[in-house]
Structure 1
Amino acid sequence: MKLPVTTLSRALRPFPVQLSLPLHWGELDAAGSINTLYFAKFFEAGRRSYYLQVLKPQVSPSSYASFAAPTTIGPILKSCQFEFFTPVPFDGPGSRLEIGTRIKTLLADRFVWELVVLSNSPRLLQASESTSAPASAADGYVLVARGEAVSVMFDYSLHKKALVPSDIADAIRTAEQSDVQQRADQRAGE
């Protein structure tokens, strides 16, 4: 099956946070591809970048500090799943992956992340088909993985679920520009 080729700007348009990560030889598996275990690390980097690029500039320093390194109320990863479309080859020094991160659903006590990973590996591009006619081979990217994760707000002092703080929810709504599905009226206990 040939994978579709697209431009980076088209693929990452819906994602307010975009991150470029280097690949390393030590991330290879026995087959010579990037080990899928590392995608959890790549997705964590995407979520962390969201906190730094979206939330930190829009909330008070004390609110961000509590959220990012919680001693009271902060996020905890409840679940995550990955869908892999093709093995990612390591093309040597300079090999990179592009990560797109967004929050697609905001609930009273949690948010649902959507993450994508793209590669412009020459080997992947040669084996793929162009669907949006990139201007040059350097502009072509292949979607190699997609993931979804759920972060639940947790009160670390009381050891129980909590609500998303209003300033954090407002910052998410602003970043996602109403694309985020809001269900703020859903009870935290559900």
Structure 2
Amino acid sequence: MDGFPVVLTLPVQWGDQDAFGHVNNLIYLRWFESGRIAYFERAELWARAGDDFGPILASITCHFRRPVNYPDQIRVGTAVTRIGRSSLTVAHRVENREGVVVADGDSVVVWYDYRVGKPHPIGDDMRAAIARLEKTGRPD
């Protein structure tokens, strides 16, 4: 998946379907979340943060392009497209087994100080790790 340094392959679960026989819309957001968490783990963002700091989701958009049915296997691509003072914009793409885009969107994630309840600036080490991951697929 070009342009996405982190790609997960996930099976569609039988229980992901709704009464209409296709994957429920909530599941797409769960797939986005799985991609985001994998990205943060690969970039070692939590290890660079400290005990009181971490990500908090500020907003999310999802464009549903095609329905997904069981059985299938999807690929979730994740990339950071913007780094602000204390927030990241994260792009998401979901493709089905045939490589057809079934959903895309983005989320804004704020780096947050949970102790004081306010945004926390993203440090230079985190910025560098994200830049390296975006360029090489590795944080170091």
Q: TM-score, normalization: structure 2?
A: 0.90
Tell me the C-alpha RMSD between the 2 structures.
Answer: 1.8
Aligned counterpart, 2:9 = 20
**Tell me, which stretches of 5 or more residues in structure 2 are unaligned?**
136-140
Hey, what's the Cα distance between the residues in 2 that align with 1:21 and 1:52?
17
Aligned counterpart, 2:28 = 39
Aligned counterpart, 1:165 = 123
> Alignment partner for residue 68 of structure 2, among 88, 100, 110?
88
Hey, what's the Cα distance between the residues in 1 that align with 2:65 and 2:47?
41
Hey, what's the Cα distance between the residues in 2 that align with 1:37 and 1:63?
31
Hey, what's the Cα distance between the residues in 2 that align with 1:24 and 1:74?
30
Select the structure of larger CA radius of gyration: 1
SS of residue in 2 equivalent to 1:141: coil
Hey, what's the Cα distance between the residues in 2 that align with 1:52 and 1:109?
18
Pairwise mapping of residues 138-153 of structure 1 onto structure 2 (< 5 A)?
A: 140-153=98-111
SS of residue in 1 equivalent to 2:25: coil
> Alignment partner for residue 39 of structure 2, among 36, 50, 55?
50
Shift of the alpha carbon at 1:62? Answer: 4.7
Hey, what's the Cα distance between the residues in 2 that align with 1:28 and 1:62?
36
Hey, what's the Cα distance between the residues in 2 that align with 1:105 and 1:84?
23
User: Which letter does structure 2 place at the counterpart of 1:17?
Assistant: V
> Alignment partner for residue 176 of structure 1, among 119, 122, 134?
134
Hey, what's the Cα distance between the residues in 1 that align with 2:48 and 2:130?
14
User: Which letter does structure 2 place at the counterpart of 1:156?
Assistant: Y
Hey, what's the Cα distance between the residues in 1 that align with 2:111 and 2:38?
18
The aligned length equals: 136
User: More helix per residue: 1 or 2?
Assistant: 1
> Alignment partner for residue 63 of structure 1, among 44, 48, 52?
48
Shift of the alpha carbon at 1:39? Answer: 0.9
Q: Which 4+ runs in 1 deviate beyond 3 A?
A: none
User: Which letter does structure 2 place at the counterpart of 1:35?
Assistant: N
Describe the superposition over 1:57-112 as per-residue Cα deviations: whole angstroms up to 9, x where unpaired. Answer: xx7x8525x3xxxx412211100010001111113xxx211000000011111110
Describe the superposition over 1:112-159 as per-residue Cα deviations: whole angstroms up to 9, x where unpaired. Answer: 000000002xxxxxxxxxxxxxxxxxxx31100001000011111111
